Amino acid sequence: MNQISERGLWWSEARFGMFIHWGMYAVAARHEWVQSREEIHPEKYARYQEYFTPDQFEPREWASLAKKAGMKYFVITAKHHDGYCMWDTKFSDYKVKRDYLGEVIEAFRDAGLKVGLYYSLIDWHHPDFVIDVNHPLRNAPNIDELNAPRKQKRYAKYMRDQVGELLGNYGKIDIIWFDFSYPREDGRGKGREDWESEKLLALARKLQPEILVDDRLDLPGSADFSSPEQYVPEYGIRDEEGKLLPWEGCQTFSGAWGYFRDELTWKTPGQVLAMLVKHVSRGGNLLMNIGPNARGSIDPRATSILRQVEAWMRDHQAAIHGCGAAPEEMPEPENCRYTYNAKTKRLYIHILSWPQKFLHLPKMQGKLSFARFLHDHSEIIMREEGAPHSNMSAKTSPDTVTLLMPAIAPDVEIPVVELFLRS
Ligand code: GLC
């Protein structure tokens, strides 16, 4: 993985996308790994098909929610680890009776979002997938006997057939998100040889030359971006010299990806926005997940957060889209994150904790021409000529610019100051 390629420019300007985990696991509603966690036999799990009746499926509503929240692309699970296919594949009967995936693609594309497909390398249903450490049958007493007829190579071919369909039949696909590899010394994991990753990757690049590919095929150096999940890398993802690499953090509102009715660790809208800012301030994208339920509806808890993201983004998108990390020589002020738009030469201060009176910007003397709040474009007075209080001077370095902040924070989730850099 190097710097983002020409074909990835749209992606690094987008900064914000929607992840959608939607599949039959929404019927169980106890985590998308329910089949593995509860060691449910594939035949028994398959019975959920009968009860997967998405009568409230309105992909245009999903797309509108994403678009209004300022998301520029989306990635949806075509197949998750349970192996159930969300499109009308020729290569399996274990699939939906209606091409939900096609309808979602069309709805999002019509709304102007770029299209990403998630395809699980893992498959707990396919009869050729060799039972391993994550498989629901991992504790079966006759595991060798069960594995004897399984031919991983046939499964690898099946994946290529399916990926061929996905990348061949739905027009332009912008991202393919393979998930995931877990090679192990004891042979009970899986990696590039099991997936025949090189062939899969070559196929993807042949069918969709512009496509961006994630980093979970176990092929070091081949990915377009890396994909840390469920944490925000404090300093971004960097190479050995400390240079930022393209990365996309994927995150959930609660503790699961698929619909999980009783999981209660939901983040607040403020936490979600802070997460978005933290990603962008370190040159990353945020892929924020929703897990629609078995009726095809988005959980009201997710909708409500997204509406608040929408409200914030309406006024603050200039500090997200097209932005990345600030130049190294501009250290962030206390309790703040910077994002920076290199084209417009504007620097944004995202204030995560409201300061009392003064906001000191180290090393900024001579660099700024104007400061204003982003939400209403109202001026913020700058003092360049040293600290406003004599007894503060010991604390502020001589090259500091001080912003004179109002006593009361503006009524927005994360206040942002827009700084115009002198050219
Ligand atoms: C993990 C999980 C999976 C989820 C994915 C998203 O690898 O296995 O359930 O889809 O991460 O990043």
Please indicate, yes or no, if residue 343 is contained in any of the structural domains.
yes
Q: What is the mean pLDDT of the segment spanning 189-206?
A: 98
Q: Return the residue whose CA atom lies nearest to atom 3 of ligand 1.
A: 257
For ligand 1, whether the C-beta of 88 sits within 6 Å is no
- Predicted local confidence at residue 398, as pLDDT: 76
For ligand 1, whether the C-beta of 179 sits within 6 Å is yes
Distance of CA 264 from the midpoint of ligand 1 (Å): 19
- 373-422 pLDDT, tens digit each: 999 999 999 998 755 555 554 456 779 999 999 999 999 999 999 999 99
Please indicate, yes or no, if residue 327 is contained in any of the structural domains.
no
Q: What is the mean pLDDT of the segment spanning 206-231?
A: 97
Within this chain, do residues 17 and 139 fall inside the same structural domain, yes or no? yes
For ligand 1, whether the C-beta of 257 sits within 6 Å is yes
Please indicate, yes or no, if residue 1 is contained in any of the structural domains.
no
Within this chain, do residues 224 and 308 fall inside the same structural domain, yes or no? yes
User: What sign does the dihedral 152-153-156-157 (CA atoms) show?
Assistant: negative
For ligand 1, whether the C-beta of 32 sits within 6 Å is yes
Percent of the residues in the chain that have a pLDDT greater than 90, as a whole number? 95
For ligand 1, whether the C-beta of 34 sits within 6 Å is no
The answer to whether 82 touches 25, Cβ cutoff 8 Å, is yes
Distance of CA 284 from the midpoint of ligand 1 (Å): 19
For ligand 1, whether the C-beta of 75 sits within 6 Å is no
For ligand 1, whether the C-beta of 128 sits within 6 Å is no
Q: Residue 404: CA atoms inside 13 Å, Cβ hemisphere, count?
A: 11
For ligand 1, whether the C-beta of 215 sits within 6 Å is no
DSSP for 117-147, please give it: EEEES--SS-TTSPP-TTSTTTT-TTHHHHH
Tell me the residue range of the domain where 345 lies.
Answer: 336-421
Q: Return the residue whose CA atom lies nearest to atom 4 of ligand 1.
A: 257
For ligand 1, whether the C-beta of 22 sits within 6 Å is no
Mutation choice for ligand 1 from 82, 177, 229, CB with most ligand atoms inside 8 A? 229
- 267-291 pLDDT, tens digit each: 999 999 999 999 999 999 999 999 9
Sheet holding 336-341, edge to edge: 336-341, 346-351, 416-421, 368-373
Within this chain, do residues 273 and 408 fall inside the same structural domain, yes or no? no
Mutation choice for ligand 1 from 257, 259, 263, 288, CB with most ligand atoms inside 8 A? 257
Mode of pairing for the β-strands spanning 284-290 and 247-252: parallel
Q: What is the mean pLDDT of the segment spanning 222-241?
A: 95
We report the CATH number of the domain holding residue 189 as 3.20.20.80
- Predicted local confidence at residue 395, as pLDDT: 56
Within this chain, do residues 159 and 252 fall inside the same structural domain, yes or no? yes
Q: Which amino acid is at 47?
A: R
Mean pLDDT over each residue of the chain, to the nearest integer: 96
Within this chain, do residues 271 and 364 fall inside the same structural domain, yes or no? no
We report the CATH number of the domain holding residue 344 as 2.60.40.1180
Mutation choice for ligand 1 from 22, 180, 260, CB with most ligand atoms inside 8 A? 180
- Predicted local confidence at residue 423, as pLDDT: 82
Percent of the residues in the chain that have a pLDDT greater than 70, as a whole number? 97
**The ligand 1 atom nearest the CA atom of 258:** 9
Q: CA end-to-end span of the chain, whole Å?
A: 32
d(CA 141, CA 129) in angstroms, rounded, equals 18
pLDDT class for 5, splitting at 50, 70, 90? confident
Scored b (16 or more CB within 10 A) or e, 371-391 reads bebbbeeeebebeeeebeeee
- Three-class SS string for 29-50? CECCCHHHHCCCCHHHHHHHHH
Residue length of the chain? 423
Q: Taking phi first (over 0 means left), then psi (-120 to 50 degrees means alpha), and beta for anything else, what does residue 357 get?
A: left
Q: Report whether pLDDT(173) > 90.
A: yes
The answer to whether 42 touches 124, Cβ cutoff 8 Å, is yes
Distance of CA 32 from the midpoint of ligand 1 (Å): 9
Q: Which amino acid is at 38?
A: E
- Predicted local confidence at residue 384, as pLDDT: 87
Give the H/E segment covering residue 267: none
The answer to whether 312 touches 62, Cβ cutoff 8 Å, is no
Within this chain, do residues 137 and 24 fall inside the same structural domain, yes or no? yes
Please indicate, yes or no, if residue 266 is contained in any of the structural domains.
yes
Beta partners for 76? 20, 117
**The ligand 1 atom nearest the CA atom of 120:** 10
For ligand 1, whether the C-beta of 250 sits within 6 Å is yes
- Predicted local confidence at residue 388, as pLDDT: 57
Please indicate, yes or no, if residue 326 is contained in any of the structural domains.
no
Within this chain, do residues 119 and 212 fall inside the same structural domain, yes or no? yes
The answer to whether 5 touches 245, Cβ cutoff 8 Å, is no
User: Domain tally for the chain?
Assistant: 2
d(CA 156, CA 163) in angstroms, rounded, equals 11
pLDDT class for 367, splitting at 50, 70, 90? very high
Within this chain, do residues 85 and 203 fall inside the same structural domain, yes or no? yes
Six-digit token string for 223: 């990915």
d(CA 324, CA 133) in angstroms, rounded, equals 39
Q: How far is CA 186 from the centre of its chain?
A: 32
3-state DSSP assignment of residue 26 = helix
The answer to whether 74 touches 16, Cβ cutoff 8 Å, is no
**The ligand 1 atom nearest the CA atom of 122:** 8
Q: Cβ-count burial of 215 within 10 angstroms (0-12 exposed, 13-18 middle, 19+ buried)?
A: buried
Q: How far is CA 132 from the centre of its chain?
A: 27
Within this chain, do residues 274 and 375 fall inside the same structural domain, yes or no? no
